[in-house]
Amino acid sequence: MPWLITGASGQLGGALLKLLATKEPRQDTVTCIARSWQKIHSYDIRALDLAVPGNLRLLLESVRPSKIIHLASVARPDLAEANPEIGQAIDVEATRIIAEYCQAEHAWMFFASSDFVHPGRPEGLYGDHEDARPICVYGRQKAAGEEIVLSKQAGAVGRLAMMYGQVLHGRPGGWTAVAEKLKSGEDVYGLTDELRSPISFQQAARAILCLAEDRFIGQINIGGRSTVSPFELMCVIARSASSKSRVVEISQKEYAQKMRRPKNVSLDSSRLRAHFGNVIYQGGCLSDPVVNQSQVRPDTVGRTS
């Protein structure tokens, strides 16, 4: 069965490829694309610019995938704010092309959305089917991609929480910068007034594989079991890794003065846990010393301050 994975050089893409590489028997053919060529877990990743619609259409016609994992995206919300045309091309227009292909060819896709489609609210814990009401460019573009996939019943829309975990390869991103600083003992900055439901790259990758095997159709949250601020998570990670880094408190206003960030976008992922919990959350966070999910205080779930 042919697969196509976009954004395969990111940390989530690397975690997914690692799982596919160990899956036995390896009968599926996997085509991977990213912005530049490289090799990850025995897979060759082709360089392809998704901002050029013709490139993607030609690739779909050539590979004719049965399952498409669309992970390509703008690396950080603030970059989408600064360069909205990039997110529009990848999260909206490329998603439309893939969804139309899936509808016509009876293929299945996974669209990587985000908890940032929500505006934030004091109690957080957004359910799977709550409407998107984004307050930033990144969230609006993700919401537009969601609508395309759902309207064509092309596959699964996964609303992903903040992710963390072992850096599997060298492509830079928001998390890799933090991981490198923790490793070298440099100061890291963590938001204190933003609440999320963090999940490791490996857990999120397992969730995507489970949804792909079931050919799940619809919208589902993919988050961890606790609600914490990025500051709290970084403190736990630094302690777990015996890092000498100082975790510095910072507010949303100080961090991102040019964009609005939602305050509490924690996710209720109980439906995901009910269906696949034993597979997805096994062993906490992989085998590295980053952080075991159980170390994040469970009594923070659903708090308002």
- pLDDT tens by residue, 19-44: 998 875 666 789 999 877 677 777 88
Whole-number pLDDT of residue 131: 97
Contact assessment for residue 290 and residue 232, using Cβ atoms and an 8 Å cutoff = no
120-169: per-residue pLDDT in tens? 999 999 999 999 999 999 999 999 999 999 999 999 999 999 998 877 66
Q: In CATH, what number is assigned to the domain containing residue 11?
A: 3.40.50.720
Residue 176, pLDDT > 70, answer yes
High-pLDDT (> 90) share of the chain, %:
66
How many whole angstroms separate alpha carbon 195 and alpha carbon 142? 19
Question: Is there a domain that residue 176 lies in?
Answer: no
Helical (H) or strand (E) element with 104? helix 94-105
The answer to whether position 181 is within a domain reads: no
Whether 240 maps to a domain, the answer reads no
Please determine, for residue 112, whether its predicted confidence score (pLDDT) is greater than 80. Answer: yes
Q: Rounded to the nearest 10 degrees, how much is the dihedral formed by the CA atoms of 170, 174, 180, 181? A: 160
Phi, psi torsion values for 95, nearest 5 degrees: -60, -40
pLDDT at 24: 58
Would 34 be classed as within a structural domain? yes
Give the chain's domain count: 1
* Residue 298 in this model has a pLDDT that exceeds 60: no
Residue 259 lies in a domain: no
Predicted local confidence at residue 283, as pLDDT? 52
At 158, the amino acid letter reads G
Q: What is the pLDDT of residue 259?
A: 86
201 occurs within a structural domain: yes
Select from 40, 13, 38 the least CA-distant residue to 160.
13
Q: Model's pTM, two decimal places?
A: 0.89
282: pLDDT strictly greater than 90: no
Pairing label, strands 43-47, 38-40:
antiparallel
For residue 51, being part of any structural domain is answered with yes
User: Do 1 and 66 meet the contact criterion of CB atoms below 8 Å apart?
Assistant: yes
| Residue ranges making up the domain that contains 157 | 2-171+197-225+266-285
The answer to whether residue 302 is domain-embedded is: no
- Which residues is 44 bridged to in the sheet? 39
Residue keyed to tokens 């957080």: 124
Which of 46-60, 113-127, 128-142, 177-191 has the weakest average pLDDT?
Answer: 177-191
pLDDT level of residue 241 (50, 70, 90 thresholds): confident
Res 21: pLDDT: 87
Q: Which of 70, 71, 15 is nearest to 43 (CA)?
A: 15
